[in-house]
Amino acid sequence: MALQLSKAFINLPVKNLQQSMDFFSRIGFEFNMQFTDDNATSMIINEHTYVMLLVEPFFQTFTSKEVADAKRSTEVIVALAADSRAQVDEIADKAMAAGAQHSKDPQDHGFMYGRSFQDINGHLWEVFYMEDPASHQA
């Protein structure tokens, strides 16, 4: 049996927690205030997935490695599945209006559509919609 875990927590370093929360709020994300203080917040993706935004000095306490400058190098791309092509565009458009930077041109492969942006800290995000593969079987 394949390993299956119940939840995912993605941890990202941020320069300014309040600015990061404001940015993601404008896209439409909410935060669990029970896990929010001056050092961190828990951004809710869905009931099983969360992004922990941690101010850089606090993030550094979790690793002995140097914290990457996401505006200069890439360590991770956070990819989120949307429910439709329209939702992909809605999320990406809101991100751009909130101050995101263009990452790459939209990708349209027919069965899969996606858009990418860099958040205000330089982290790469992809939002995509993929049709159910079963709908293409004869």
pLDDT tens, position by position, 72-106: 999 899 999 999 999 999 999 999 999 999 999 99
Least confident interval from 24-33, 49-58, 128-137: 128-137
Average pLDDT score over the chain: 94
- Which among 68, 10, 58 is positioned nearest to 38, based on CA atoms? 58
Report all structural domains of the chain as residue ranges with CATH numbers, in order of start: 1-61 (3.10.180.10), 75-138 (3.10.180.10)
Cα 118 to Cα 32, 62, 70, 134, 135, distances in angstroms: 23, 24, 9, 32, 32
| Confidence tier at 132 by pLDDT (50, 70, 90) | confident
Tell me the whole-structure pTM to 2 decimals: 0.88
